[in-house]
Amino acid sequence: MDTANMLINVVAILSGLFLYIGITNTKWGKEHEGYQYAIMLGTILCAVLIGGFIRWLV
């Protein structure tokens, strides 16, 4: 794997992680603790889309 792809993957993973943390720390996220699995899946999907968009740019 080349360096650019590895960096894109790291950025995508970190963006998904920070998005998940950001959502769960909001008032809405705390009110919907029962939906953590769905929120996690949504943020993973966003991370994949962000990584794909960065690959498209590069």
Q: What is the DSSP string of the chain?
A: --HHHHHHHHHHHHHHHHHHHHHHTSHHHHHTGGGHHHHHHHHHHHHHHHHHHHHHH-
Instruction: Provide the residue range defining the domain that includes 36.
Output: 3-57
Token couple for 27: 């008032």
> Residue 50 above 90 pLDDT?
yes
> Residue 58 above 90 pLDDT?
no
Q: How far apart are alpha carbons 2 and 38 in whole angstroms?
A: 32
How many domains in the chain? 1
- At 4-37, the pLDDT tens digits run 999 999 999 999 999 999 999 999 999 999 999 9
pLDDT band of residue 1 (cuts 50, 70, 90) is: low
Amino acid letter, 1? M
Q: Give the pLDDT mean for 33-55.
A: 94
pTM for this one?
Answer: 0.83
